[in-house]
Structure 1
Amino acid sequence: MKQSEPQKGTSMVDLSPRPARPFSRRLFLSGSAAGALTLGMAACGSSDTPTPATGASGAPTSGAAGAGFPLTIEGAEGKAIIPSQPGRVLTVGFMRDVDEAVSLGVVPIAITPQTNFDSGLAPWVEAKLGGAKAPQQIEVEDNLPFEKITELAPDLILATDSYTLADDFANLTAIAPTLSYQDDVAEDTWQTRAKRIGAALGKADAAEKAIADVESGIAAAKDRNKAALEGKTFTFSLLNAEGELATVVLPTDASARFLSQLGLKLSDQVTSLPQAGPAGRAVVAKENTKLLDADVVLFSFRSEDERKQVEGDRLFQALPAVKRGAYVALEVGEALSLAFPSTLSIPFALEKIVPKVVAAATKA
């Protein structure tokens, strides 16, 4: 089950190059995909259990009456002309197309699996589905199975989170209206993605509410944790495919931007490092591990072996932040909730990760 994976990494500005098509989803957080470190925290949007795909209201450019349909939505790869409210929605994006559809109460008829998770679905999606039937998962090799997608007869394809859409758009739009990202798959904010999907599904108002709820949650988290987080520095790192330390160096990176919304600041020790590999990341030589020190040190691991490798190193153990317990270790699933913020993944990050960050910051 292989499909091209994101190396641009985040929904909120990460400028790494696009991957070659055979790059496996399960390898997303390895190698140059180290760029996918971003911390998104906020409160939940809609809490209703999703129902099978139906429903939506307009936004970008709409035509006649009804629920805002027919509707035309412009995108970087082309326009989606949606004649009527979709009833059979299919997603081919990495993660966030599924997130936003399910967040709005729409269960796609089929999805390309979220293969970093054993079930093919992120835990925040499973939680939202509740007792609703999960969408069918389409097996993917080096290319999307266009014949299979045709057989499923979708009337809307969501692809705002597809890292191969430039190659696939013509084939997909020949099957059904296909929703592209607005500017770039890695540069569209989670708010932009949610609004576009909400419009395409005829659920523009629900999307606006979900966005408002999440943004309110961010503000509430900042206010609630101001004493612990305000002005504290952080670094956020992982091991790349070569087993080297890779760390976020751009304040405009999604992780840095999100944490800054909570009052934290990316450490000056890393912002001055030269970028290497994915844009916005630097490789730190083992002997320079001390550069990763900050009030809070975050590290993401794909496996227990990786965690043992890093935590067992004497230079890492010598970091003042590690010594005083101001260190946060994240599993790959947690890291993905940060790397790809959506109206579903952000509440998950708020619940699972923010308390760890706050606990670490109190030891600074």
Structure 2
Amino acid sequence: MKNSIDRLPGGPLSRRSFLLSLSAGAVAVGLAGCGDDGDPVTGGSAGADAGFPLTIKGAEGDTVLPARPERIVTVGFMRDIDEAVSLGVVPVAVTPATNFDSGLPPWVEAKLGSAKAPEQLSYEDNLPFERIAALTPDLILATDSYSLADDFANLAAIAPTLSYETDVAEDTWQTRVTRIGRALGKTDVASRLVTEVEAGIATAKEKNSAALAGKTFSFSLLNGEGQLATIILPTDASAQFLSSLGLTLSSKVKDLEQAGPAGRAVVSQERTDLLDADIVLFSFRDSDERTQVESDRLFQALPAVKRGAYVPLEVETALSMAFPSTLSIPYALEQIVPKLVAAAGKA
């Protein structure tokens, strides 16, 4: 959920100032790449030249790869890290996922296991372009970067940079892992992951159809101003995840006027009743937010809350369906579906 991002990459250095500060030698080394340590997560590796050279078109620019990349840096919010690790490639460095204390989502940490975690790039506003260049990557993954329109030129001056296909908020998780898999020379692995994850969703839907099919839901959070904000679009990533399980977005919220981030509507405290549904979900960034919402008498008066069909989620868990990937979706199925089934039993 975009409201829940603590920090997204800020504005870039000017293209001119950055390019002038970067020596030609550094650029050349970045494109040449370094040695391969194999695939420490899953083991094995694709043939070094299979499918290369190749060009992948993107919304912000094309990615030209002369050979299979071996040193990867990710600068997206979260899903670039997810998909690289899911495909068996540990980046040399990543921008931290700041909603998590460790800087890495739990599903990434679980997949890494005993493998060495990537370096986390420290920065305040602008991406640390000089540090990224010093790492000599031969591919920068930026399909999940919300500042890529500003940063692409600077990043592409360091190494081939993979953009989103259409828009960071519009590419599906299937599109993202397919693009990253192609760039990493792991097209077959990416295809297998898509099949496995889609099968997992279908299994969860079938297994819980008696409990979830046809039940309505609302999903809300507090926005940056402390107001109630609720999802109003069935195309929202979280709504799509819940709908894939057989749930339906409540008709009470579908026609509300959008306010703030795309797909959200602000609901006044006096109209908290609009959030009622068979299942009411709420995401909280901390205990203070949860107390603020749950202590309100109008929230307590919601029929769903009174009968126990209310599902509170920590933001870390909510992000697993709000920013779907081949690693986060199985985590969401494991962590969220049992709560939904329990709530549906009281609907």
> Normalization by structure 1: what TM-score?
0.84
Aligned length: 319
Measured after TM superposition, the shift of residue 258 of structure 1 is: 2.0
Corresponding residue to 1:214 among 197, 203, 212 = 197
Instruction: Determine if contact 1:55/1:86 at 8 Å carries over to the other structure.
Output: no
- Looking at structure 2, the residues matched to 9 and 303 of structure 1 have their Cα atoms a distance apart, in angstroms, of 11
Partner residue of 1:348? 331
- 1:250 and 2:201 matched: no
**Quick check: 2:4–2:315 contact (8 Å CA) kept in 1?**
no
Q: Percent identity?
A: 71
CA contact (8 A) 1:230 1:262 kept: yes
Q: How far is 1:116 from its partner? A: 1.0
Contact 1:327 1:360 in 2 (8 A): yes
Residue in structure 2 matched with residue 167 of structure 1 by the alignment: 150
* Match of residue 21 from structure 1: 10
Q: Secondary structure at the match of 1:297?
A: strand
What is aligned with 1:60? Answer: none
Match of 2:25? none
Greater relative contact order (CA < 8 Å, ≥ 6 in sequence): 1
Describe the superposition over 1:293-326 as per-residue Cα deviations: whole angstroms up to 9, x where unpaired: 0000000000101101111111111111001110
Q: Which residue of 1 aligns with 2:181?
A: 198
Partner residue of 1:285? 268
The aligned counterpart of 2:54 is 71
Alignment-derived partner of residue 263 in structure 1: 246
Q: Secondary structure at the match of 2:252?
A: helix
CA distance in 2, matches of 1:193, 1:246: 28
Deviates more, 1:257-266 or 1:162-171: 257-266
Q: After TM superposition, list the pairs within 5 Å mapping 1:283-322 onto structure 2.
A: 283-322=266-305
**5 Å matches for 1:1-364?**
7=2, 21=10, 50=41, 55=45, 66-364=49-347
Secondary structure in structure 2 of the residue aligned to 1:363? coil
The answer on whether the counterparts of 1:55 and 1:87 sit within 8 Å (CA) in structure 2 is: no
After TM superposition, give the deviation of residue 66 of structure 1 in Å: 3.2
Residue-by-residue CA offset, 1:79-111 (whole Å, 9 max, x unaligned): 110111111111010000000000011000011
Residue 134 of structure 2 aligns to a residue in which SS?
helix
More helix by share: 2
Q: Which amino acid aligns with 1:352?
A: Q
Question: How far apart are the structure 1 equivalents of 2:96 and 2:239?
Answer: 28
Taking the aligned partners of 1:363 and 1:353, their CA distance within structure 2 comes to: 16
Structure 1 alignment gaps of length 5 or more: 1-5, 11-18, 23-47, 58-64
Please give the root-mean-square deviation of Cα atoms over the aligned residues, in Å.
2.1
| Structure 2 residue aligned with 1:44 | none
In structure 2, stretches of 5+ residues that fail to align are 12-38
User: What code does the residue aligned with 2:75 have?
Assistant: V
Which of these two proteins has the greater Rg computed from alpha carbons? 2
Contact kept, 8 Å, 2:218 with 2:275, in 1: the verdict is yes
CA distance in 2, matches of 1:7, 1:188: 15
Q: CA deviation at 1:8?
A: 8.7
Q: Deviations over 1:91-139 (max 9, x none)?
A: 0100000000000110000111111111111100000000000001111
- Counterpart of 2:111 in structure 1: which amino acid? K
Whole-angstrom distance in 2 between the partners of 1:51 and 1:263: 33
Which whole-Å CA distance do the structure 2 matches of 1:175 and 1:115 have between them? 24
- The code of the aligned residue for 1:205 comes to D
Shift, 1:336, TM fit? 1.1
Q: TM-score, normalised by structure 2?
A: 0.88
- For 1:30, the equivalent position in structure 2 comes to none
Query: Would the alpha carbon gap of residues 51 and 133 (structure 1) be closer, same or farther in structure 2, given more than 3 Å must change?
Result: farther
Deviations, residues 41-61 of structure 1 (Å, cap 9, x unaligned): xxxxxxx96169x9458xxxx
Contact 1:51 1:107 in 2 (8 A): no
